């Protein structure tokens, strides 16, 4: 098997290239957007065809290259079924397999650092790629992005430490220049998760870390929910071709919709119209910073002052009223209109920023 461990010095992120020496099919795990030219050049140098680009989780410290690699190489992307993204080709969970040539990556869900963390295992080669769930003599933090110390402890003990002791573990990061560890080493030596530690002790350690707010999370997280670079424009068969201006789908009522993660990375490219009442706009769900409040009852009159050729995304609590608003705008001759699927409930579920 062809294997390369690559490094991004800015985020201390490891990217892993795995390839079949006969079929020339390859997989990249946790690629970084700023290193995409390096990775594509290496694929070319080694005569490999990228079949899959995978993330172990939705990262908060760097922007992923999944979407860019899909555009450049035609590869398929993959993340956890629990990652909360709508951009990936594969939604991966326990028991799934990612094949490349004669090899196969077995998927294990290992939540706790985030809810959508995965570990990829190459059983015959005795290798596993743990992302941020288990680091060398450490672990990923559990204080944001659906993190939970109890869950992480059980994930490591039940999904990683159950691998043979000789299994080599390759983490998502290392900040001290270390490159690899093993199951046996971490069972003995990991100061947080080693077998000498109880779950209660691990939770106490994680609760008292007092870590700084991740420097790049406000940029990286919204972009990574769209695979770094969103998929190219493609229409649902139910959306007329003349109305296609973004990756639209249509709900059962024929309303064109966009996912919240796409809206998060394109908020400056459309008029965002929040059709909830003022008390809701200022209420507990908050609102998107770029959105303007236009209650549904006032929309028809307000829209007469807008350019009907500009793109408009309508927003409400759950998607029902914004769907009505989208249909109203289409009836007035607006050509580029979409409702944000799931409304502010979906936006908040993804932990995107609000005012």
CB 350 within 8 A of CB 259: no
Could you tell me if residue 259 is inside a domain? Answer: yes
Domain count, the chain: 2
Q: Is 76 exposed, middle or buried (0-12, 13-18, 19+ CB in 10 A)?
A: middle
Could you tell me if residue 35 is inside a domain? Answer: yes
CB 8 within 8 A of CB 173: no
CATH number at residue 106: 3.60.15.10
Last-in-domain residue among 156, 183, 217 = 217
Could you tell me if residue 66 is inside a domain? Answer: yes
**Per-residue pLDDT, 112:** 96
**CA angle in degrees (0–180, nearest 5) for 167-169-170:** 145
Q: How do beta strands 103-109 and 118-122 pair? A: antiparallel
pTM equals 0.69
Please report how the helices 66-73 and 36-45 are oriented relative to each other, as an axis angle in degrees rounded to 10: 40
**CA–CA distance, 145 with 59 (Å, rounded to integer):** 10
Q: Is residue 26 domain-shared with residue 93, that is, in the same domain?
A: yes
Could you tell me if residue 223 is inside a domain? Answer: no
Q: Is residue 9 domain-shared with residue 155, that is, in the same domain?
A: yes
Q: How do beta strands 97-100 and 103-109 pair? A: antiparallel
- For every one of its 355 residues, what pLDDT tens digit does the chain have, with 9 covering 90 and above? 999 999 999 999 999 999 999 999 999 999 999 999 999 999 999 999 999 999 999 999 999 999 889 888 889 999 999 887 767 889 999 999 999 999 999 999 999 999 999 999 999 999 999 999 999 999 999 988 789 999 999 999 999 999 999 999 999 999 999 999 999 999 999 999 999 999 999 999 999 998 887 778 877 887 787 788 654 444 345 556 556 677 777 787 778 888 888 888 888 889 999 999 999 999 999 999 999 999 999 999 999 999 999 999 999 999 999 999 999 999 889 989 999 999 999 999 888 899 9
Taking the alpha carbons of 163, 167, 173, 175 in that order, is the dihedral positive or negative?
positive
Q: Is residue 298 domain-shared with residue 190, that is, in the same domain?
A: no
Could you tell me if residue 225 is inside a domain? Answer: no
Q: Is residue 25 domain-shared with residue 134, that is, in the same domain?
A: yes
**Per-residue pLDDT, 69:** 92
**CA angle in degrees (0–180, nearest 5) for 310-88-18:** 135
Q: Is residue 107 domain-shared with residue 197, that is, in the same domain?
A: yes
CB 106 within 8 A of CB 97: yes
Closest residue by Cα to residue 343 from 300, 277, 279, 285: 285
CATH number at residue 262: 3.40.250.10
Q: Is residue 76 domain-shared with residue 104, that is, in the same domain?
A: yes
**Per-residue pLDDT, 232:** 43
Q: Is residue 57 domain-shared with residue 133, that is, in the same domain?
A: yes
Question: What are the structure tokens assigned to 334, written together?
Answer: 């607006």
Last-in-domain residue among 217, 248, 272 = 217
Q: Is residue 201 domain-shared with residue 307, that is, in the same domain?
A: no
Could you tell me if residue 179 is inside a domain? Answer: yes
Q: How do beta strands 271-274 and 292-293 pair? A: parallel
Domain that holds residue 178: 2-217
Last-in-domain residue among 217, 252, 284 = 217
């Amino acid at each position: 098997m062809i294997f390369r461990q690559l490094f991004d010095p800015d985020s201390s992120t490891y990217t892993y290239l795995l390839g079949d020496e006969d079929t020339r099919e390859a997989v990249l795990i946790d690629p970084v957007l700023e290193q995409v030219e390096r990775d594509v050049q290496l694929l070319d140098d080694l005569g490999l065809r990228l079949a899959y680009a995978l993330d172990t989780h939705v990262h908060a410290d760097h922007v992923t290259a999944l979407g860019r690699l899909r555009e450049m190489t035609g590869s398929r992307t993959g993340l956890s079924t629990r990652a909360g993204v709508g951009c990936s080709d594969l939604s991966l969970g326990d028991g799934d397999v990612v094949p490349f040539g004669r090899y196969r990556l077995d998927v294990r869900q290992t939540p706790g650092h985030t809810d959508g963390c995965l570990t990829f295992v190459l059983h015959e080669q005795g290798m596993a790629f743990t992302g941020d769930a288990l680091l060398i003599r450490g672990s990923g933090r559990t204080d944001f992005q659906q993190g939970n110390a109890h869950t992480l402890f059980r994930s490591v003990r039940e999904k990683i430490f159950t691998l043979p002791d000789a299994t080599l573990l390759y983490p998502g990061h290392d900040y001290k220049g270390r490159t690899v560890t093993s199951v046996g080493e971490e069972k003995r030596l990991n100061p947080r998760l080693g077998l000498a530690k109880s779950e209660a002790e691990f939770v106490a350690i994680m609760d008292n870390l007092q870590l700084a707010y991740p420097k790049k999370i406000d940029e990286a997280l919204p972009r990574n929910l769209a695979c770094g670079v969103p998929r190219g424009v493609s229409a649902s068969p139910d959306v007329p071709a003349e109305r296609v201006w973004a990756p639209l789908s249509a709900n059962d009522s024929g309303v064109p919709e966009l996912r919240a993660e796409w809206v998060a990375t394109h908020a400056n490219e459309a008029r965002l119209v929040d059709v909830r009442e003022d008390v809701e706009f200022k209420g507990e769900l908050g609102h998107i910073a770029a959105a303007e409040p236009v209650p549904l009852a006032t929309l028809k009159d307000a829209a007469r002052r807008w350019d009907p050729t500009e793109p408009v995304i309508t927003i409400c609590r759950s998607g029902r009223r914004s769907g009505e608003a989208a249909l109203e705008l289409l009836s007035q001759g607006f050509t580029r209109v979409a409702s944000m699927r799931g409304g502010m409930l979906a936006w908040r579920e993804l932990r995107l920023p609000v005012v």
